[in-house]
Amino acid sequence: MKAVAIDLGGSHAGIAIVEDRAILTSEHISLASEEGLKPALPKIQSVINGLLNNLAIKTSECAGLAIGFCGMVDGECSKVISTNGKYEDALSIDLAAWSMAEFGLPLAIENDARLALMGEWYAGAARGYEDVVMITLGTGIGGAVLIGGKPFRTKQPQAGCLGGHISVRSSGPACSCGAYGCMESEAAGWSLPLIVKNWPGVSQSKLASIPSVNFRSVFELAEEGDQIALDIRNHCLQVWAAGTIGLIHAYGPECVVFGGGVMQSADVILPFVRDYVKQHVWQPVGTTEIVAAALGNDAGLLGSVPLILAKMHSTQ
Amino acid sequence: MKAVAIDLGGSHAGIAIVEDRAILTSEHISLASEEGLKPALPKIQSVINGLLNNLAIKTSECAGLAIGFCGMVDGECSKVISTNGKYEDALSIDLAAWSMAEFGLPLAIENDARLALMGEWYAGAARGYEDVVMITLGTGIGGAVLIGGKPFRTKQPQAGCLGGHISVRSSGPACSCGAYGCMESEAAGWSLPLIVKNWPGVSQSKLASIPSVNFRSVFELAEEGDQIALDIRNHCLQVWAAGTIGLIHAYGPECVVFGGGVMQSADVILPFVRDYVKQHVWQPVGTTEIVAAALGNDAGLLGSVPLILAKMHSTQ
């Protein structure tokens, strides 16, 4: 099955023509989400037409158009319902009508984290599993959950997507979400500089002289034997591992997939999390594999075919 | 619809004849779970026959026999799969065959916490909601989750039932489950005496002179103005509230039902948890009602009819 795939991020879009588990061709463009989605649509349309032309594929050969959106989505109704400041006009744009009018294709739209997990499940690290939790370690900590091979849903669209906002230290500092000591405020890209700044004795570490600390610097200095960097790294590892146990206890998944830029240090992160979980999880029946995401930025694009298939199935 | 209902706890069983949302008659008997289920079955059978005789109801008028079991259950296959030391022989007893042979009734069996939530959903505090989390504050902290009006399930039977074992303080002391700083080890019946014993300055509190501290004593002394009791009470309230936010973030429920013996202090617990959640939850779409369980020990018995209905529906 061929499909048109759009992965709509806050500052860029990945656009592709996909066939089953392969990206036939793709292009990435910069977009200014603060200017809204309306001015972006003609640009996206032009890229799609160019990609189709290059491959000599007609839109009629495609089963649908899939969008991964960086906000909350009602997948059943194909509507954006909360934008979190990005493409705010998307709430009032009828994307299904746009897709049908411009390409003659039915639309399937989903939250970008959920779509990335569908991609990993269909074509990547979570192939063969039905119950999967994904944790994306980046500037924030993203989450998504599949149960029985379908995105976990309740009436509230955020369900399953707030795995980074389960408190691992409820007496800790405030998180951006309003709660305290979430996995995200304890160990993510945006909170790391604050953690480093307030770490006892940090002035004795090389970290103190780095203008903008990130996980790469922490992991590198830890590797070099900088004790403070090692302590901070271990703190973060422990937060991610304890948070993983919380998610395993909450959802009982067969597999947890770790993605995101911080996974450049997968060689340190995965063995630690696996060991910690093995020692401390309560799992009388079953086990949970802990693996690295396999598809990187292509995950959302490769989630398109299963998303369209699910949509076709649900409307039959 | 009439049904035979058995709520099988570690030291007792509640046995009832139910009709839709009402218990027609019931009896409670003591059982020794450490002796196994086999010697208990004739006693249970005798009570059921007595109850049916008293009401002049024939088994043929009942749609099925439902069991809530204090362990892990594969509801689809009607089998006990993990006993946690109670009724260990249940793993090898064919309860469906027993129910059919003795009463001519099809069996529906479920974990007791899940069945209690089904009862609250069908006939109690969670009526009208489809997505519900239940938290039972007692010796331990139990949990169960309904999504779309059905028990939340994955391939791992513990899914949704470990809400008390999501860490709220991952640097805290070990929990009975193997993890650290779970809601249960931070604020439940079994952990409370330890928390009190180690509380700084506890010797200045009346709590120090109480031989076996429980939540009743903590709440009573807090009410009398004992500062240490007040601090410990507030610690527990904060743990339950932070844990509730974690569960709301995990499952996106419309309703959280609090049950269990500790809810004798519902007048203090519910307002605190509601306020804390209102202030600190991240819920861009929807809200979550926080309510007290309404059915007490009858919840599991009243979960029988919806359990049997679900079973009939799934095997049609």
What are the chain B neighbours of A155 within 8 Å (beta carbons)? 130-131, 252, 254, 286
DSSP H or E run through A1: none
Model confidence, pTM: 0.94
- Do A254 and B155 count as a contact with CB atoms less than 8 A apart? yes
CA nearest to B165 within chain A: A249
Instruction: Measure the CA–CA gap between A271 and B253, rounded to whole angstroms.
Output: 34
Query: In this structure, is the dihedral angle defined by the CA atoms of residues A191, B275, B234 and B194, taken in order, positive or negative?
Result: negative
Q: Two tokens at B153?
A: 């399930």
Q: Among A166, A254, A283, whose Cβ lies nearest the Cβ of B166? A: A166
What are the chain A neighbours of B162 within 8 Å (beta carbons)? 249-250, 282
Is the per-residue pLDDT at B200 higher than 70? yes
Q: What are the Cα distances from residue B210, in Å, to B137, B159, B196, B214?
A: 21, 38, 11, 9
Q: Two tokens at A105?
A: 């294709």
Residue B316: the pLDDT is 57
Is the per-residue pLDDT at A316 higher than 80? no
- DSSP calls for B261-274: GGGGGHHHHHHHHH
Nearest chain B CA: its distance from A17 CA (Å) = 33
Instruction: Measure the CA–CA gap between A66 and A57, rounded to whole angstroms.
Output: 17
Query: In this structure, is the dihedral angle defined by the CA atoms of residues B276, B281, B283 and B289, taken in order, positive or negative?
Result: negative
Instruction: Summarize the confidence of residues A112-125 as an average pLDDT.
Output: 96
What are the chain B neighbours of A162 within 8 Å (beta carbons)? 249-250, 282
E strands in chain A: 2-8, 12-19, 22-30, 62-69, 72-74, 79-82, 107-111, 132-137, 141-147, 150-151, 255-259, 289-292
Instruction: Measure the CA–CA gap between A240 and A218, rounded to whole angstroms.
Output: 15
Nearest chain A CA: its distance from B203 CA (Å) = 25
Instruction: Measure the CA–CA gap between B160 and B145, rounded to whole angstroms.
Output: 5
Instruction: Measure the CA–CA gap between A10 and A130, rounded to whole angstroms.
Output: 30
Q: Report DSSP state, residue A171.
A: T
User: B174: how many CB neighbours lie within 10 A of its CB?
Assistant: 12
User: B230: how many CB neighbours lie within 10 A of its CB?
Assistant: 17
Residue-wise pLDDT for B243-277, tens only, equals 999 999 999 999 999 999 999 999 999 999 999 99
Q: What percent of chain A has pLDDT over 70?
A: 99
Nearest chain B CA: its distance from A156 CA (Å) = 6
Distant-in-sequence, close-in-space partners of A47: CB < 8 Å, separation ≥ 6: A15, A27, A29
Residue-wise pLDDT for A32-71, tens only, equals 989 999 999 999 999 999 999 999 999 999 999 999 999 8
Q: Two tokens at B133?
A: 């989390």
Nearest chain B CA: its distance from A180 CA (Å) = 8
Q: Do A306 and A121 form a contact (C-beta atoms < 8 A)?
A: yes
Confidence of residue A315 (pLDDT cuts 50, 70, 90): low
Residue-wise pLDDT for B63-87, tens only, equals 999 999 998 898 888 899 888 788 9
What are the chain B neighbours of A247 within 8 Å (beta carbons)? 250
CA-only gyration radius of chain B, Å: 20
Residue A157: the pLDDT is 87
- Do A148 and B154 count as a contact with CB atoms less than 8 A apart? yes
Q: Among B84, B169, B252, whose Cβ lies nearest the Cβ of A169? A: B169
Dihedral of the alpha carbons of A156, A162, A163, A164, in degrees to the nearest 10:
-170
Residue-wise pLDDT for B141-185, tens only, equals 999 999 999 999 999 988 999 999 998 998 889 998 899 999 999
Residue A225: the pLDDT is 97
Instruction: Measure the CA–CA gap between B294 and B291, rounded to whole angstroms.
Output: 9
- Do B246 and A249 count as a contact with CB atoms less than 8 A apart? no
Residue-wise pLDDT for B48-62, tens only, equals 999 999 999 999 999
Residue A82: the pLDDT is 84
Dihedral of the alpha carbons of B276, B281, B284, B290, in degrees to the nearest 10:
-60
Beta bridge partners of B7: B14, B68
Phi, psi (degrees; rounded to nearest 5) at B109: -130, 145
Q: Which residue in this structure is represented by tokens 């995401």?
A: A293
Q: Among A158, A169, A246, whose Cβ lies nearest the Cβ of B252? A: A158
User: B12: how many CB neighbours lie within 10 A of its CB?
Assistant: 15
- Do B284 and A239 count as a contact with CB atoms less than 8 A apart? no
CA nearest to B158 within chain A: A252
Instruction: Measure the CA–CA gap between B181 and B174, rounded to whole angstroms.
Output: 6
- Do A285 and B81 count as a contact with CB atoms less than 8 A apart? yes
What are the chain B neighbours of A169 within 8 Å (beta carbons)? 168-171
Among A130, A237, A249, A275, the strongest candidate for a mutation testing the B interface, having the largest count of B CBs within 10 A, is A249
DSSP H or E run through A220: helix A215-223
Q: Higher pLDDT residue, A71 or B127?
A: B127
Confidence of residue B315 (pLDDT cuts 50, 70, 90): low
Average pLDDT, chain B: 95
Q: Do A183 and A166 form a contact (C-beta atoms < 8 A)?
A: yes
Residue B9: the pLDDT is 87
- Do A179 and B280 count as a contact with CB atoms less than 8 A apart? yes
- Do B251 and A249 count as a contact with CB atoms less than 8 A apart? no
What are the chain A neighbours of B131 within 8 Å (beta carbons)? 154-156, 159
Q: Report DSSP state, residue A173.
A: P
What are the chain A neighbours of B247 within 8 Å (beta carbons)? 250
Instruction: Measure the CA–CA gap between B47 and B234, rounded to whole angstroms.
Output: 44
Is the per-residue pLDDT at B41 higher than 80? yes
CA nearest to B186 within chain A: A170
Q: Among B156, B238, B281, whose Cβ lies nearest the Cβ of A286? A: B156
Instruction: Summarize the confidence of residues A15-26 as an average pLDDT.
Output: 98
The one-letter amino acid code at A302 reads L
Instruction: Measure the CA–CA gap between A7 and A252, rounded to whole angstroms.
Output: 29
Q: Report DSSP state, residue B302.
A: H
Instruction: Summarize the confidence of residues A256-260 as an average pLDDT.
Output: 97
- Do A251 and B162 count as a contact with CB atoms less than 8 A apart? no
Q: What percent of chain A has pLDDT over 90?
A: 86
Nearest chain A CA: its distance from B11 CA (Å) = 22
Q: Report DSSP state, residue B178.
A: S
Q: Do B14 and B21 form a contact (C-beta atoms < 8 A)?
A: no
E strands in chain B: 2-8, 12-19, 22-30, 62-69, 72-74, 79-82, 107-111, 132-137, 141-147, 150-151, 255-259, 289-292
Q: Report DSSP state, residue A182.
A: B
Provide ipTM, 2 decimals. Answer: 0.93
Instruction: Measure the CA–CA gap between A20 and A7, rounded to whole angstroms.
Output: 16
The one-letter amino acid code at A5 reads A
Confidence of residue A24 (pLDDT cuts 50, 70, 90): very high
